[in-house]
Amino acid sequence: MKKLISNYLYTVLYQLLLMLTPFITTPYVARVLKAEGVGIDAYVLSIVQLFIVFIVLGIPLYGSRQIAVKNNKEETSKEFWSIFSFQAIISLLNIVVFLLFILLLDNYTNLFYIHFLTLLAYSFDISWFFIGKEQIKKISIRNMIVKVLGIILIFSFVKDADDLPLYVLINGGTLFFGQLIMWIPLLKEVKLVKISFDDMKKHVSPIMVLFIPQLLIQVYVLVNRIILGNIAGEIEVGYYNQANKVIKIALGVISSIGTVLLPRMASEFSKGNQDMVKKYTTYTLQFVLMITLPMTLGMMAIAPNFVVWFLGDEFLDVSTILILMSPVIFFVGLANVFGIQVLVSTNQQKKYSLSITIGALLSLIINYLLVSKYGSIATTIALLIAEATGALIQMYFARSYFIFREFITLFIKYFILSGFVYVSASTIGEFVEITPVLLTLLQVFVGAMIYLLGLFVIRDTLVLKLIGSIQHKIRKKVNE
């Protein structure tokens, strides 16, 4: 348990840096590159990410799960090299197709060529190995160094709208550098072993099963964005993308849970420890409900004022999109528990794939029907429906790992407390007249204090356990 907590804290520390990075860079980039530049970057990146999907496949989830159940260096080394060899072959094929694709383009070819570095970065990504070994510290430190370097370079060299190619180069270059330096500690963990074609072949089927939902996720995340750009224009893409970036700030803390717990859950499941799997599910489900509901309602409350100073007057329309998109935080939290932590780690990939498939199809249909009339709002609604549908179907498939009545009780409890957060933050935003930045900080502070007070009043079990653990450590140090 201590290692899980340590890994989670390191992951959250990195996620906090991810949260701070947009606060530092996004307002600057939005003003320097303007709505058109931001939109072009989002549009090009959406297409590049389709190629990334075919490079990544389902390898991060599959690889970390496979490494987690290996018990010695020989087995681990053979498993790593056989999986990475398959990854390398797939990457090479995708890069060749990508270069051929660029030759057919008329617009933004320079940006696509620069994104060659982005594709290389994902080709050499072996983070899944360290996640499987539960060595999150190494990944977190690497990621933090790369992020800080990227921030420094953006502020140093990106000065006006003509610097969009340089902005893309910095993002792709730092990502590639970050992947390369992870090979230094990796080569101390594994040794060179001979692998055969059959060693690689055995991974194809399970990776492809996991690849289907990953591809479909990109369908409603990326293809919808491309449709939005083609029908409504790059500026609408810019609005949607900026709102999506803000939501992803909040999602970082949530996704950390799945990253940390997947290898542990896979290990316990492989040993037949069903009771431990259910125990971890119960704890993390309560934790996810406790943090996602106030984040969702809090984001809806601060959105109008937040957008004013965070993105600038040019992006005022983003506030409506941000309010509509906020429930994604809650549904992604559920999906991390039921989809990643339960279904994937317990080898129920087909059920996971089915849930994503249904959500993606609904998303595509809704976006296609509404985007010409409602633009970025239609794409936001499509995203929300996809995430909600997938999460609820996954909840149904994972129903044997938790007690539904307890889930409803927890949901009602945290939702009511989160309602007080919404009311307090909205009231402050309506009646307090101070600078927009200070107003947002005040809204967050008051909302957080009210929520924490509510948790103490209802004697929340997770909070009481945390307090008890801290008191125990203090007593232990005093006695020493």
**Residue 304: domain span:** 2-479
DSSP states along 275-307? HHHHHHHHHHHHHHHHHHHHHHHHHHHHHHHHH
Radius of gyration over alpha carbons of the chain, in Å? 23
pLDDT digits (tens, 9 = 90+) for 393-405: 999 999 988 889 9
Q: 42-52 b/e with 16+ CB inside 10 Å = b?
A: bbbbbbbbbbb
Rounded-to-integer distance, Cα 377 and Cα 2, Å: 44
- Provide the residue count of the chain: 480
Q: Is the dihedral of CA 326, 329, 332, 338 positive or negative?
A: negative
Number of domains in the chain: 1
Give me the pLDDT at residue 24, please: 73
Give me the pLDDT at residue 11, please: 61
Beta strand ranges found along 149-204 (DSSP E): none
Structure tokens at 382: 């499509």
Structure tokens at 245: 């970036």
pLDDT digits (tens, 9 = 90+) for 6-28: 555 556 565 556 556 656 777 78
Inter-residue contact 339 to 285 (CB < 8 Å): no
Task: Let me know the angle formed at the C-alpha of 298 by 295 and 302, rounded to the nearest 5 degrees.
Answer: 135
Which residues of the chain register pLDDT less than 50? none
Nearest CA among 259, 181, 242, 218 for reference residue 14: 259
* Residue 96 exposed, middle or buried by CB count within 10 Å (0-12, 13-18, 19+): exposed
Q: Please give the C-alpha separations between residue 440 and each of 253, 305, 396, in angstroms, as whole numbers.
A: 20, 7, 38
Verdict on whether the full-model pTM lies above 0.85: no
Nearest CA among 264, 210, 203 for reference residue 80: 203
Q: Give Cβ neighbours of residue 480 (< 8 Å, ≥ 6 apart).
A: none
Beta strand ranges found along 211-348 (DSSP E): none
Give me the pLDDT at residue 442, please: 94
Question: Integer distance in angstroms from the first to the last C-alpha of the chain?
Answer: 23
